[in-house]
Chain A
Amino acid sequence: MQEALDRVIEKYRLEEGSVISLLQDIQEEFGYIPEDSVSYVSDRTGIPQSSFYGVATFYAQFYLKPRGKNIITACCGTACHVKGAERVISRIRRELELTDGEDTTQDGLFTVEDVACVGACSIAPVVIVNKEVHGKVSATQLLKEINNLKKETDA
């Protein structure tokens, strides 16, 4: 972990206002912001931990807990909303047995999260599965995709 963090610190050493960039790179590296990483980077840079947590909790992009192996990002922007995104999202959440307030499945295989618009509104509703954008999606199509992903991990 230290080695990766040192690299990140070095990258932004001369930059002013680098808290967000530091956190973004940490998250890129580990998939979330581990507590240890914050204390380490704080010690090395002299930026107080509170600054990191202040920023990390303000912006929607940062995660303080590990996320699932597969990330399903459902758009809930206006265009997707009027094209029935909500029904699609609740269907996949039900399929994955996620209760209210829960984003990641017990087995850590899936995280379902939403985003305010991915800018592909003309092919709404839009869902991103592991960084791949799917337009005009239906619940059936996504359930298939989820099953495929499940099989892949079983294999």
Chain B
Amino acid sequence: MPKAVDIRICMGTGGIAAGASAVLERFEEELSSTGVGASVRENCSRHNVGCRGFCARDVLVDVILDGERTTYQYIKPDMVQRIVEEHIVSGNPVEDWVVTDDYHNFHEKQVKVVLSDCGEVDPEDINSYKSRGGYKAVESVIGSKTPEDVIEMIKSSGLRGRGGAGFPTGLKWEFARKPESDQKYIICNADEGDPGAFMDRSIIEGNPHSVIEGMTIGAYCIGADKGYVYIRAEYPLAVKRLRIALEQAKEAGYLGENILGSGFSFNIKVKLGAGAFVCGEETALIASIEGQRGMPRAKPPFPAQQGLWGKPTVINNVETFSNVPYIVTKGPDWFSSFGTEKSKGTKVFALTGKIRNTGLIEVPMGMSLKEIIYDIGGGMERGEFKAVQTGGPSGGCIPKDMIDINVDFESLAKVGSIVGSGGMVVLDDTDCMVNIAKFFLEFTQRESCGKCTPCRVGTKRLLEILDRVTEGKGKSGDIELLLTLGQDIKDSSLCGLGQTAPNPILSTIKYFRDEYEAHINEKRCPAAVCKAMLTYTILEDACKGCTLCAKACPSDAISGEKKKPHVIDQGLCVKCGACFDTCKFKAVHKE
């Protein structure tokens, strides 16, 4: 009896960027009638799977031979032939290319709920999801349980929204269930505007059916028959897979009229965002679906009372919805066994920046930051750990000496940051904290919709101050001005964008005030990032005269004879850093 072989290739955005399509093509060739694997091709199945988190190692390929799984990393098309020949045909895995210990360490401490099927199921095949228990939740709920029972279940699981604010999901559904209305809506917020985060993209790319299933259960609970997924247009692959999944769910009878013969009907439409961060805010998102400029409005009334087209509406995040089917099938007690007293379950984080193992991780709420960075993330890539930025433009920085903090809603809020959507950008000693604060302010200032004055004008003023500080023109009193103005903007802005925009500044001043002071008083950037305060020089002893830097220099500021030390003309230097990047001998010095 020939052995069954299953080949799974990671086809998320990360995998495709690393060349996964070409790898798949090579597998097809080698397993065709003329390839080296012709003899076993009848028993081989090939599947595209979504992201399994460790994108830094892409392309990742699983070969499952008779139930035995081997995972390969960094696979390129020209490596495929050997894998087919030695492993698939002859049964000897190619040890050189098998994932190393850190791949296992990366996964060991993770607990996967939302991501449990990501990287396992074929996102473009509903049967693949069903074979792992998919749509069991909908089947067990619709027509068999009352909406009130299901809401009670979600409430007792302790699930809180994963979109940022952490509002209890069951409660939100209850609010929207109560009002009598001829029409209600359910909306999935897949706008994921936080730069540096990709949880929602990966979930939709990896397992879109879990989101659809969660939305359907939500709709059943509140009595909605129409739903929308508001998704960023910057995520073309996620949009494509979501559309395929919606078609398949409809065909299989999990969406549409009279679902599973219960009399309950529900349809979902896809709405593409058009590139505005503020549209992640729920009232702005509603305005955007209505086809208007995406500007927020004052709350109350909350969307649960008056939402889309004035009707009761529930808006939840992608990850929130994706948790729901697992809670229903495995039970609320199982779910609440993970996490802390007030933050139940797990949270998906996007671990990026200067860390060795960048990627997508899912951990129980309350895990210490240290475990996340050192055990899962594998520690720093090169430099020395300085801080973690969480929560994106609405969040803050957690400095080195707080690395033992537990990562959950309450603990992070206490130190002036937030869990937010789940972005975690790790910073090292070559990152300037004033520059990071300015980076976020530039973002929020650009994205401010302009409706309320504190946010529109206030963020502009904040940015002007940061501009002059990073240009070496800071004045004494600037730090105090940033603090008071920041607090005023927080207190008086209309929506969450303005109310949180000053956070990156406030938190970096709180923990890295000395860096601000060095910029202002000494006109010095300790991390050597802020251009205006930098000088590039060539170290005579280290320079081999290879001329690479002179070729790279865009302003012809570097001169010197071949094989002799070069010099930079400071008057011509535009401080672009091209020489620093090209020098192979570390002979370019910046300070």
Contacts and interface: CB of A to CB of B under 8 A. Distances in A.
B129 to A, nearest CB: 22
B13 A87 contact: no
Interface in A1-30: 16-21, 23-24
B443 interface: yes
Given A78-B423, A82-B353, A133-B17, A118 B581 contact: no
A20 B273 CA distance: 9
Nearest to A131: B236
Interface in B558-591: 576-578, 581
A87 B293 CA distance: 33
A78 B16 contact: no
A24 B233 contact: yes
Interface in A109-135: 115-124, 126, 131-135
A122 B350 CA distance: 8
Interface stretch (A58-66, A100-108, A144-152): A58-66
Choose among B198, B288, B360 the residue with the greatest number of A CB atoms under 10 Å from its CB.
B198
Task: For chain B, give the interface size range.
Answer: 35 or more
Nearest to B359: A122
Contact of A62 (B274, B288, B436, B447): B274
Interface string A78-108: 1101111001001100100000000000000
A147 to B, nearest CB: 15
Interface string A40-72: 000000000000001100111110000000000
B581 A87 contact: yes
Interface string B186-198: 0000001111111
B513 to A, nearest CB: 21
Given A17-B292, A116-B193, A123 B554 contact: no
B354 A82 contact: yes
Given A19-B291, A24-B272, A79-B353, A119 B581 contact: no
Given A18-B291, A119-B234, A122-B350, A133 B13 contact: yes
Nearest to A90: B576
B196 A115 contact: no
Given A55-B292, A81-B439, A121 B354 contact: no
Contact of B290 (A17, A62, A77, A132): A17
Contact of A120 (B55, B273, B289, B576): B55
Contacts of A87: 576-578, 581
A16 B290 contact: yes
B350 A123 contact: no
A83 B440 CA distance: 15
Given A82-B354, A117-B194, A17 B14 contact: no
Interface residues of A, number: 45
A134 B350 CA distance: 19
B459 interface: no
A123 B425 contact: no
Given A17-B290, A20-B291, A24-B274, A135 B439 contact: no
B515 interface: no
Given A55-B292, A122-B55, A78 B392 contact: yes
A91 to B, nearest CB: 7
B274 A123 contact: no
Contacts of B274: 20, 23-24, 55, 59-62
A134 B354 CA distance: 19
B359 A91 contact: no
Contacts of B293: 54-55, 58
Interface in B423-468: 423, 425, 427, 431, 436, 439-440, 443, 447, 449
Contact of A121 (B198, B289, B389, B440): B198
Nearest to A116: B195
B56 A17 contact: no
B470 interface: no
A151 B461 CA distance: 46
Given A19-B291, A61-B233, A79-B196, A123 B272 contact: no
B275 interface: yes
Contacts of A121: 196-198, 350, 352, 358, 423
Contacts of A139: 578, 581
Interface in B251-308: 271-277, 288-294
B359 A17 contact: no
A78 B421 CA distance: 14
Contact of B13 (A19, A77, A118, A138): A118
B201 interface: yes
B235 interface: yes
B309 interface: yes
Among B196, B293, B576, the most chain A Cβ lie within 10 Å of the Cβ of B196
B291 A60 contact: no
Contact of A122 (B56, B291, B389): B56
Contacts of A19: 291-292
Given A79-B196, A79-B425, A133-B17, A122 B352 contact: yes
Contact of B431 (A17, A77, A82): A82
Given A83-B353, A91-B576, A123 B276 contact: no
B378 to A, nearest CB: 13
Given A79-B352, A119-B235, A122-B352, A55 B389 contact: no
Given A91-B578, A120-B198, 7 more contacts: A16-B291, A17-B289, A20-B288, A60-B274, A119-B234, A120-B55, A138-B581
Interface of A: 16-21, 23-24, 54-55, 58-62, 76-79, 81-84, 87, 90-91, 94, 115-124, 126, 131-135, 138-139
20 contacts: A60-B275, A76-B195, A77-B195, A78-B352, A78-B440, A82-B436, A87-B576, A87-B577, A116-B443, A117-B196, A119-B13, A120-B198, A121-B198, A121-B358, A122-B359, A123-B18, A126-B17, A133-B17, A134-B17, A135-B14
